[in-house]
Amino acid sequence: MQGRKGTEEIIIHCAATRPEQDIDAREIDRWHRQKGWLQIGYHFVIKRDGSIEIGRDVDDVGAHARGHNSYSVGVCMIGGLNEDGNPEGVYTDAQWVMLRILVDGLKTRYPDAKVIGHNEISDKACPSFDVGEWNGRGN
């Protein structure tokens, strides 16, 4: 794998799954390999129970945000869709807690990185919530 140039952004994503779909990094890895990618595109995955799984090595270039991969870390939360399949940030309390812990840890390691949602750099709803509002507009 190729190393990232630096870390300017921490990009929050969702798996675009319904609440009852309790998938993991292995499943996302399978999806991404079916697309012809080398492996899972995200660096971290936060499961419905709040556990954090490692995807790509954090020092490797990800495959999660076109045009931003060489200088960003990708975090994917399982969920992002409501029961009807529409974008909605219906994450578990455990996921919210672990997202805060993970992002705070990443900000300690990469203090100048901006924390943004995938929807801020693409025309997708992902991660189905306002990351700036969640993060207190602080970066």
Active site residue 35: no
Per the residue annotation, which of 32, 42, 43, 47 is the catalytic one?
A: 42
pLDDT profile of the chain (139 residues), mean per 10? 85 96 96 94 97 96 94 98 95 97 97 97 96 84
- The reply to whether 124 belongs to the active site is yes
Annotation says 76 is catalytic: no
If we measure between CA atoms, which residue out of 85, 116, 117 comes closest to residue 17?
Answer: 85
- CA dist., res. 64 & res. 76, Å (int): 9
Based on the residue annotation, tell me whether 32 is a catalytic residue of this protein. no
**Domains of the chain, with CATH numbers?**
9-134 (3.40.80.10)
SS3 3: strand
From residue 74, how far is each of 20, 61, 85, 117, 139 by CA, in Å? Answer: 23, 10, 23, 10, 16
Kindly name the residue from 13, 47, 64, 114 that is annotated as catalytic: 13
42: annotated active-site residue: yes
Give pTM, 2 decimals.
0.95
Q: Tell me what pLDDT residue 3 has.
A: 82
The catalytic residue among 68, 71, 107, 124 is: 124
Question: Tell me, what's the pLDDT at 138?
Answer: 61
Predicted pLDDT of residue 128: 97
Cis peptide preceding 127, ω within 30 of 0: yes
